[in-house]
Structure 1
Amino acid sequence: MVNLLLSALSGLVLSAAFEPISLWWVAPIALALEMFALSRSERTYPSVLAFALTFNLVLLHWTSTYVGSVPWIILASGLSLFYLPLVAVKRLGIAFFPLIFIVLEEIRNRFPFQGFGWARIAYSQADAPYAKIAAHGGAVALSAITVLIGLVLFYLFQKQFRILILLPLLIVLVPINVQMNETTQALMIQGNVPKLGLDFNSRAKEVFFNHVKETDIALKNRKVDFILWPENSVDVDPFRNPEVFEALNSYKVPLIVGAIVGRDNETLNTSILWTKESQNVYIKQHLTPFGEYIPLRSLASKISPFVDDVRDFTPGNESTIFTVDKAKIAPVICYELLDDQILEKAAKSSNLLAVQTNSATFGDSAQSAQQLQITRIRAIEHSRNILSVSTTGFSAVIDYNGKVLQKSDMGTAQHLYAEIGLISSTSPRDRYGDWALVMTLIWLLIVTRRAYIYRR
Structure 2
Amino acid sequence: MAAPSAGTVEPTGVPASRPARTKRNWRAWLLRLALAAASGFVFYLSFAPRDLWWLAPLAFAGFGFVLRGRRLWGGLGYGFVFGLGLYLPLLFWLQDFLGRSFGSAPWLALSAALAAYLGLAAALCTVVARLPGAPVWMAMVIIASETPRTWWPGGGFPWGRVAFSQPEGAFTPLASVGGAPLLGFAVVVTGFGLTALLVHAGRRDWRAVRLPVVAAVVPVVAGLALWPTIGTGAQAGTRTVAAVQGNAPDVGLDLMYESATLRANHLAQSEVLAGQIRSGAVPRPDLIVWPETATDLTTTDPVLDQVVRDLGVPTLIGARYREPGSTTQNTEFVWDPATGRGQSYSKQQLVPFAEFVPMRAIARWFTPFLDDTGDMRPGSAPAVLDIAGTRVAVPICYEIAYDYVSRDAVNDGAQLIVLPTNNAWYGHSEMTYQQLAMARLRAVEHGRAVVVSSTSGVSALIEPDGTVTVSTSQFTAESLVGSVPLRTQTTLSDRLGAWTEYGLVGAALVAVLAGLVLRSRNRGASTTATRAE
TM > 0.5 fold call: yes
**Structure 2 residue 238 is the aligned partner of structure 1 residue 183:** yes
CA distance in 1, matches of 2:507, 2:36: 27
Q: Which amino acid aligns with 1:361?
A: W
Alpha carbons of 1:36 and 1:227: their partners in 2 closer, same or farther (altered >3 Å)? same
1:441 shift after superposition: 5.3
1:247 shift after superposition: 3.9
Deviates more, 1:41-50 or 1:421-430: 41-50
Match of 2:499 in 1: 435
| Among candidates 121, 124, 131, match of residue 172 of structure 2 | 131
Match of 1:76 in 2: 111
1:443 shift after superposition: 7.7
Listed one character per residue, the Cα deviations across residues 107-160 of structure 1 (whole Å, up to 9, x for unaligned) are 222322342111101110112122100000111000000001101210122013
Conserved? CA contact 1:238–1:244, under 8 Å: no
1:319 shift after superposition: 1.7
Secondary structure of 2:253's counterpart equals coil
Match of 1:215 in 2: 270
**Structure 2 residue 255 is the aligned partner of structure 1 residue 200:** yes
Which of these two proteins has the greater Rg computed from alpha carbons? 2
| Among candidates 177, 182, 188, match of residue 141 of structure 1 | 182
Q: Which amino acid aligns with 2:89?
A: V
1:408 shift after superposition: 0.6
Alpha carbons of 1:310 and 1:348: their partners in 2 closer, same or farther (altered >3 Å)? same
Q: Which amino acid aligns with 1:435?
A: W
Q: Which amino acid aligns with 1:280?
A: Q
Report percent identity of matched pairs.
Answer: 29
Listed one character per residue, the Cα deviations across residues 211-234 of structure 1 (whole Å, up to 9, x for unaligned) are 122222223223111111100112
Deviates more, 1:344-353 or 1:33-42: 33-42
| Among candidates 231, 237, 247, match of residue 297 of structure 2 | 237
Alpha carbons of 1:91 and 1:313: their partners in 2 closer, same or farther (altered >3 Å)? closer
Structure 1: 5+ residue stretches without partners: none
**Structure 2 residue 412 is the aligned partner of structure 1 residue 361:** no
**Structure 2 residue 470 is the aligned partner of structure 1 residue 392:** no
Taking structure 2 as the reference length, the TM-score comes to 0.79
CA distance in 2, matches of 1:351, 1:317: 21
CA distance in 1, matches of 2:193, 2:510: 15
Deviates more, 1:399-408 or 1:324-333: 324-333
CA distance in 2, matches of 1:336, 1:203: 23
- 1:8-47 maps to which residues of 2 (within 5 A)? 8-39=37-68, 41=70, 43-47=74-78
| Among candidates 124, 149, 160, match of residue 119 of structure 1 | 160
Alpha carbons of 1:307 and 1:364: their partners in 2 closer, same or farther (altered >3 Å)? farther
Match of 1:92 in 2: 128
Judging by fraction of residues, say which structure has more helix. Answer: 2
Alpha carbons of 1:412 and 1:44: their partners in 2 closer, same or farther (altered >3 Å)? same
1:285 shift after superposition: 0.8
Listed one character per residue, the Cα deviations across residues 7-58 of structure 1 (whole Å, up to 9, x for unaligned) are 1111111110112334111111111111101215563332121111221111
1:163 shift after superposition: 1.6
Listed one character per residue, the Cα deviations across residues 279-311 of structure 1 (whole Å, up to 9, x for unaligned) are 211111110010100011132123113434432
Match of 2:285 in 1: 224
Alpha carbons of 1:311 and 1:241: their partners in 2 closer, same or farther (altered >3 Å)? farther
Match of 2:8 in 1: none
Conserved? CA contact 1:62–1:362, under 8 Å: yes
Match of 2:15 in 1: none
**Structure 2 residue 337 is the aligned partner of structure 1 residue 270:** no
CA distance in 1, matches of 2:194, 2:510: 19
Secondary structure of 2:239's counterpart equals strand
CA distance in 1, matches of 2:455, 2:441: 22
| Among candidates 348, 355, 358, match of residue 292 of structure 1 | 355
Deviates more, 1:328-337 or 1:241-250: 241-250
Conserved? CA contact 1:268–1:284, under 8 Å: yes
CA distance in 2, matches of 1:440, 1:22: 27
Secondary structure of 1:109's counterpart equals helix
Conserved? CA contact 1:397–1:418, under 8 Å: yes
Taking structure 1 as the reference length, the TM-score comes to 0.92
**Structure 2 residue 42 is the aligned partner of structure 1 residue 6:** no
1:252 shift after superposition: 2.1
Match of 1:259 in 2: 319
| Among candidates 396, 404, 410, match of residue 347 of structure 1 | 410
RMSD: 2.6
Conserved? CA contact 2:140–2:507, under 8 Å: no
